[in-house]
A and B are shown apart, each in its own frame.
Chain A
Amino acid sequence: MHINEILFWFLTALALFSAMMVVFSKNPVHSVLWLIMVFMAITGHYIIMNAQFLAIVNMIVYAGAIMVLFLFVIMFMNLNAESEPQKSKWMKFAAVLSGGSLMLILIAALKDNDGFISSMRGEGSIGLIKNLGKVLFTDYVVPFEISSILFLSAMVGAIVLGKKDSSTIVS
């Protein structure tokens, strides 16, 4: 086996195991830490596929910023008690059954293709910052600017939502 295949299987096993631990962990803090492991495995997949810019962005944005935000909110609410109310056994069974049947149907629909990914010498420069930046700032400059407006509005929305006001729901 080539080193790429060994890395592929290792990262796949790591991603799937960590994703299951995200769902099955009782403690939300442990879920966040396992989700960081999933993102690291996905970053490894990006590096195998030579998408280096996306690997770095995934690492910084997801594993760095977003997960810290999750961890901050969980610790802010003091939610790391292990006494979360559970759904009933039959609801869980039905959820796993429907998810599994969805996966079976999607696999049956998508399995018939013979594409492949190989890594030859001299190719694979599309994932580098030089190429992506050139395309991003020429052909896709309008969506880029629109996404900055989206960020501004998301920031304003988060502040407005998080502001303390008197119109709380009577509970």
Chain B
Amino acid sequence: MPVIPINYYIFLSLALFTIGIVGVLTRRNAIIIFMCIELMLNAVNVLLVAFSKMHHVAAFALDRATTAGTEAQLFVFFIMVVAAAEVTVGLAIIVMLYRNIHSVDINFLNRLKH
């Protein structure tokens, strides 16, 4: 019976999340920054599914007919729904930005403070 410790999934998720943060902090292209935010969302999703599975395995040892861990997977489903809506609005904002300043460089956005 193969056993994978939950720590491995935590480390994978943290590494993906950190790569997303570094991408947000280092790049200047608004679309790349948006993609890095998607990466961070997916890191959270992986961790939720891993915890759901861990909870289910622990509950299954006591009760063979348990459905423990279903809620976490539904949360991941709702996160995906919200992410899809967010991408729609975010890309519309980026298109509007490009139409106004003819670039997607976020450093031009400091004009917003005037």
B81–A150 touching, CB < 8 Å: yes
B18–A158 touching, CB < 8 Å: no
What is the interface of chain B mostly: helix, strand, loop, or mixed? helix
Docked Cα-Cα span, A170 to B74, in Å, equals 46
Residues of B within 8 A of A (CB): 1-12, 14-23, 25-29, 31-32, 34-36, 38-39, 42, 45-46, 49-50, 52-54, 56-58, 60, 64, 67-71, 73-74, 76-78, 80-89, 91-96, 98-102, 104-105, 107, 111
Q: Quick one: given A19-B39, A96-B26, are A171 and B78 in contact (CB under 8 Å)?
A: no
Q: Quick one: given A66-B83, A87-B28, are A35 and B38 in contact (CB under 8 Å)?
A: yes
What is the count of residue pairs linking A and B with beta-carbon distances less than 8 angstroms?
A: 253
B26–A117 touching, CB < 8 Å: no
A98–B84 touching, CB < 8 Å: no
Residues of chain A at interface, number, CB under 8 A: 90
CB-defined A-B contacts under 8 Å, sample of 9? A23-B36, A49-B49, A54-B76, A57-B80, A85-B105, A100-B18, A126-B52, A157-B88, A161-B95
**Hey, which chain B residues are within 8 Å of A157, CB to CB?**
88-89, 92
Please, what's the 1-or-0 string for A117-154, where 1 marks a CB less than 8 Å from any CB in chain B? 11110111011000110011000100100010011001
User: A99-B19, A111-B7 provided; 17 other pairs, C-beta below 8 A?
Assistant: A15-B16, A28-B32, A31-B35, A35-B35, A35-B39, A45-B46, A51-B49, A54-B77, A57-B80, A70-B91, A96-B26, A99-B18, A107-B10, A110-B10, A110-B14, A126-B56, A150-B81
